[in-house]
Structure 1
Amino acid sequence: MYQGAEYLFGADSSSTEFFDCSSFTQRVYGEIGITLPRTSRSQFHTGTKIEREELETGDLVFFDTNEDEVINHVAIFINENTLLHATRSKGVDYTGFTEYWKKYYTLAVRVIE
């Protein structure tokens, strides 16, 4: 739907041309009636916390890529091999749930019950 939209840190979720990771998730879930806070650090306080082994399509997964114990990225879990998110390098795109992302994985929440 928004695949290919460019990355812009601080982008507003009302935009469909530019997203950052959390404005993208805020926009996508807002379209199905789920209100999320603006930032990834706030979004991880929503929904129900789940274990990595319990991940299902549509769950939000959070990362600490700076390894400073602060959430700084959120993605939508598609399956054990795929994430949907807005990244600096590709904008909105499907990417592999690679060893890179697994290394920085912090926690997940389910917002769709």
Structure 2
Amino acid sequence: MKHIPLYCLAAASMALSFFFEHTPARSTSSSSALITAEASLFSFTDDEEDKKSSTLTSDSAAYDYYDQALGVHLARTENKDLLRTVLDWIGTPYRYGSNSKKGTDCSGFVTRVYKEVYGITLERSSHSMFNSVKRVEKDNMETGDLVFFRRGPGQPIYHVGIYLKDGKFAHSACNGGVMVSSLQQQYYHRNFYAAGRVETN
């Protein structure tokens, strides 16, 4: 009777030994297949044409998105960082004297976008910005140029926005926050004063 526990342990040991000796090992073919599959997920082709094609497809999709979201017809050569940043600010409420996503005025919006996209620190007021840009004709405006407004001859500049395309510009309006408006709207058409270009190089 004293040896029964020893017999039980020996039997258990033999059973475990049998189990581990006969457990099927992972087949070499399935292991290599798994490695191949994982490699295909994370490998990239060295073929420059494939890379170029992939980039063009990605760019096209991005521009299509900005076309729709901003309501403009882009030429596919515009600065995508600028378009994305402007879009990120759309809907931010108007708040005089501020320049954050919680609220911003027109010049605050413009200064933040230029800092984020180009790393350029602009003057804080629309009037000061106007004095530091290169003037451009209305017909020669490009995406990223600044548009300035005043309420009549001899009046100070009171509003600034960022030109996008198709006569549309992004700005922070006191009656709606950051939005896209048209220079053809009666109010903006009447008060448009000039356009300016910031040297980004």
**What SS does the corresponding residue of 2:89 show, helix, strand or coil?**
coil
Partner of residue 42, structure 1:
128
Partner of residue 60, structure 1:
146
Q: Which of the pair is proportionally richer in helix?
A: 2
Match of 1:27 among 112, 120, 127: 112
1:93 aligned onto 2:179: yes
Match of 2:168 among 58, 63, 82: 82
1:106 aligned onto 2:193: yes
Provide the TM-score with structure 2 as the length reference. Answer: 0.52
By how many angstroms is 1:79 displaced? 1.6
**Runs (4+) of structure 1 moved beyond 3 Å?**
none
Provide the TM-score with structure 1 as the length reference. Answer: 0.89
Contact 1:60–1:108 under 8 Å retained in 2: yes
By how many angstroms is 1:16 displaced? 1.8
Q: How far, CA to CA, are the matches of 1:30 and 1:46 in structure 2? A: 16
Aligned residues: 110
Letter in 2 for 1:38: R
Contact 1:58–1:112 under 8 Å retained in 2: no
Deviations 1:3-41 (A, max 9, x none): 111101111x3x221000000000000112111010001
Which structure ranks higher in relative contact order (CA pairs < 8 Å, sequence separation ≥ 6)? 1
Contact 1:59–1:112 under 8 Å retained in 2: no
Query: RMSD of aligned C-alpha atoms?
Result: 1.4
The gaps in structure 2 that reach 5 residues or longer are: 1-87
The gaps in structure 1 that reach 5 residues or longer are: none
By how many angstroms is 1:99 displaced? 2.9
Deviations 1:62-91 (A, max 9, x none): 0013x2520000011112331100001110
Q: Which of the pair is proportionally richer in strand?
A: 1
- Structure number with larger C-alpha Rg: 2
